[in-house]
Structure formats: structure tokens, C-alpha cells
Amino acid sequence: MTATFWQKVDKTGRNLAPFAVTVMMVLVGMIPVPVPGYPSVAPNLTLVSVYYWTIHRPDLMRPGVAFLIGLLQDFLVGGPLGVNALLLVVAQWAVLNQRRVFLASTFALLWFGFTLVMAGAVLLQWLAFSVLDAAALSILPALFQGLLTVAVFPAVGWLLIRVHRAFLNG
């Protein structure tokens, strides 16, 4: 039974969902919210999305895809090139190596796992910017961003599960 042309198009479109959703997360994470102090602690939705898709569909969230999304984020954010690309590639690699643990675990453990990934991301980001700016930057804003991201993880995760079920089941 060979798939027809349209079936192939449909399948490709559906397989693009993780990429498209993650790009959308990059853009949504950049919406200006007029709350004092928000811009510097806006949750890193992109990382949540990469984390989720690496666990559930590693075939659709490959290192190259993570790299491309990170590069796009670097371009849009206006920071030094390569920082977010590095961050997402390392995160994807770390999660992929422990994927079996995550896949078999409960939501609470998934959440805990993300906390670890986020902690690593905060450190890596701080290190990269400190080296690139040649200055000892304060890690506090990044830490608060990490906490906020961990706090919104369940909500974003729920949304991603909905997208996953809508586009990629069957």
C-alpha cells in the first residue's frame, strides 16, 4: 500500500508540527508584556518545547533542528550569535541521553527533569554571556527566568500535549 501524494504532503506537514510549534514559542516568548521587570525574566518557552519534543518525538527534534531554532532565536533576540543555538543543542543532547528515564516516568518526574535542564541552561547562558561580554554578569535575572520557566512548565506542557495529540497521533 503506497501512500498517495497528498498523504505524503499531509504527513510531512504533520511532521513539521514540532518545528513550527517551537518557532511559534520563540515568537510568543518575545511578546512585550507591560509588567515591570518582565522582559528580563520572560520564561524560556523555546526550551520547554525542545525538551518536550526531544522526549516524545526525538525523530522530529534532531540536533540540527534544535540548532536552527536556536540560531533563529539568536537572530531575533539581538544577542550574540550562537548562544541559544549552543544552549538548545546541548539541552537536546542531554535530554536525548536520558530519554528512556523520562519516557517511563510520571509527570512530576518530567517536571523535575526539566528543572535540572533549566538549571544547566541558566548556568550555560550565564557563562556564555559573561565570556562574550568579558564581564562578571549577575546571574540573578537568569535564575529568576529559570524559576518562572519551571513555574509555567505544566501549562506549556499541557498545550504541547494537545498539539501532539492533534497533529501526530496515528
Partner 1 sequence: MKPRSSGSVIRLAAPLRALAQRFSFLLLVLASIALMMVGKIESVSVDSARARVTDAFAPILDAISRPAATAARVVESAVELENAFDENQRLKAENARLLQWRQAALRLEAENNSLRSLLRVRPEPAVNYIAARVIATPGSSFVRTLVVTAGRRDGVRKGQAALAGAGLVGRVIEVGEWSSRVLLLTDINARIPVILSNTRQRSILAGDNSDQAKLLYLPPDSPIQVGERVVTSGDGGLFPPGLPVGVVTAVSERGVRVLPSADLSRVEHLRLVDFGLPGTDLDSSPEWK
Q: Which of 10, 93, 107, 155 binds partner 1 (CB under 8 A)?
A: 93
Applying CB under 8 A, the site for partner 1 has a residue count of: 54
Among 77, 123, 159, 163, binds partner 1 (CB under 8 A): 77
Please check whether residue 66 is in contact with residue 94, taking contact to mean a CB–CB distance below 8 angstroms.
no
123 is a site residue for partner 1 (CB under 8 A): no
Return the DSSP state at 3: P
Closest distance of CB 131 from partner 1, Å: 9
From the CB of 6, what's the least distance to partner 1, in Å?
27
Binds partner 1 by CB under 8 A, chosen from 57, 63, 123, 164: 63
Residue 48 CA, distance from chain mean position? 4
According to the binding rule CB under 8 A, does residue 119 interact with partner 1? no
For residue 150, state whether it binds partner 1 (rule: CB under 8 A).
Answer: no
Question: Which of these, 141, 165, 140, 170, lies nearest to 17 by C-alpha position?
Answer: 165
Write the single-letter amino acid at 152. Answer: V
SS (H, E, C) 23-63: HHHHHHCCCCCCCCCCHHHCCCHHHHHHHHHHHHCCCCCCH
Instruction: Say how far apart CA 31 and CA 84 lie, in whole Å.
Output: 18
Contact residues toward partner 1 (CB under 8 A) are: 27-44, 63-64, 66-67, 70-72, 74-83, 85-86, 89-90, 93, 96, 125-126, 128-129, 132-133, 135, 137-138, 141-142, 144-145
